[in-house]
Structure 1
């Protein structure tokens, strides 16, 4: 089945629950018959859509009416900033509230990311990017390693888990050598999370040997409000420097979009 046929089929399968003015809750079909709840936030004419993959256990507690029980994660917390920058974002919850730790580098999870990308294409025209933070960077790497034929325009990895911890997987388990789209690695020099040391950024970038272009964006700062160094409200989660980080990533996204348009 062609990607166009898949998009048309999936468009007929979505159900949407009412939420805030710029936000919609989507109930998306997945391979195998599961359903995926996701929050979609978009300006009227987005420059691109970013599939945002949360860190931690991946369970943000999204309800059908748009309430979010666990909204501290950077990709959830920053959605208004992405909207202001002209980007749509698609933020998935964990299917059935399951804990995603240890599952994000698997082929099954790569297929789920692929379903999210299809959903993003259905919602709006234009390029789609993957962005993952912390444990979610493993999912973004895995998705980028498996997607082909222009399905995504690039991948952004922020504060990536690059050393073994409780999940027993890292971005290096997600086949970085298979990534064949432009990539951005973001690293906060003040991140003290033991499984995501900023000094590993260059190693992560080098591992994506099949990418046509890999850039490392270094940031600094952030406040420590979480009790854990790997918590969302900490330098690891860009707490207090959200605008700085969004601006830096948005500049890279805009450059990637412009570069791609010049090649058409």
Structure 2
């Protein structure tokens, strides 16, 4: 074989071996989450299943139920924004960045069951969370959860979802809930034309934890309003404020989910502190 041809043969063989060796590495790399996306956003919860909760006014609301073995409590979690997480009957989620959605697996690891209701027919909930009709939807969800098990129940709402949690809690008889968590609550009037102050905060009979990130720059959820929210909850036997700090910014908007408003990058710390408060309500 001529020397020139032999070198060409050896070069091609070496190239094939080199790129063959790289192939598994490339496949493995694609199995990892994209940079900047928290692991919890792609981890599903435990024993996930889609449930269709019947409503007294007709129809049903689709929800994602994630249940660890022997849950210590059930968290009914209301997302912010439009409230539409794009939950399909097969369990797929189109909008999973919201704090309460992307951390469901972390709550399960702490032995809390999580129920995340979607909007009815994917309708935008802005402006409707404080309505009497949505209070009835939450009551129907509570009825479903209590039938599912005997574990204590908490309502948990973040951002616009805090309005829903407050609405449900204000129309719930004493003794029904172990507690209510409102995080980065919308307290300044914006495009949705409703805030937590649109509801009778004084009628909440359950213990309440208000979480406020001092780094949050969302214009409709200023952290300093946590004191005003707490002062309005005169009917609650115990109102506490949890002040946290930090978070990364990946969202284009200050009220986005992947920002300090959504506890992006500090999820574990925030969940640990909220869990510590909930444990005191389970004793």
Once the two structures are TM-superposed, the CA of residue 191 in structure 1 deviates from its matched residue by 0.2
Once the two structures are TM-superposed, the CA of residue 99 in structure 1 deviates from its matched residue by 0.4
Figure out how many residues of one structure are paired with residues of the other and give that number: 240
State whether residues 55 and 73 of structure 1, in contact with CA within 8 Å, keep that contact through their aligned partners in structure 2: yes
Query: Which residue is equivalent to 2:193?
Result: 168
Query: Given the alignment of the two structures, is residue 83 of structure 1 paired with residue 108 of structure 2, yes or no?
Result: yes
Query: Which residue is equivalent to 2:162?
Result: 137
Query: Which residue is equivalent to 2:130?
Result: 105
Cα distance in 2, alignment partners of residues 69 and 150 from structure 1: 36
After TM superposition, the score normalised by the length of structure 1 is: 0.89
After TM superposition, the score normalised by the length of structure 2 is: 0.83
Query: Given the alignment of the two structures, is residue 249 of structure 1 paired with residue 274 of structure 2, yes or no?
Result: yes
What is the 5 A alignment of 1:44-83? 44-83=69-108
State whether residues 117 and 152 of structure 1, in contact with CA within 8 Å, keep that contact through their aligned partners in structure 2: no
Query: Which residue is equivalent to 2:10?
Result: none
What is the 5 A alignment of 1:194-233? 194-233=219-258
Over alpha carbons, which structure has the higher Rg? 2
Cα distance in 2, alignment partners of residues 124 and 232 from structure 1: 31
Q: Unaligned 5+ residue runs, structure 2?
A: 1-43
What per-residue deviation string (whole Å, max 9, x for no partner) do you get for residues 158-214 of structure 1?
000000000010001121010011000000000000000000001111111100000
Q: Unaligned 5+ residue runs, structure 1?
A: 1-18, 259-264
Runs of 4+ aligned structure 1 residues displaced above 2 Å come to: none
Residue 237 of structure 1, aligned match among 262, 265, 268: 262
Query: Given the alignment of the two structures, is residue 120 of structure 1 paired with residue 157 of structure 2, yes or no?
Result: no
Cα distance in 2, alignment partners of residues 156 and 226 from structure 1: 24
Cα distance in 1, alignment partners of residues 252 and 45 from structure 2: 31
Once the two structures are TM-superposed, the CA of residue 29 in structure 1 deviates from its matched residue by 0.1
Cα distance in 2, alignment partners of residues 58 and 176 from structure 1: 21
Q: Is 106-115 or 156-165 further displaced after alignment?
A: 106-115
What per-residue deviation string (whole Å, max 9, x for no partner) do you get for residues 32-67 of structure 1?
112110000011110000000010000000011110
Alpha-carbon RMSD across the aligned residues, in angstroms, is 1.1
Q: 1:21 to 1:255 in 2, by over 3 A?
A: closer
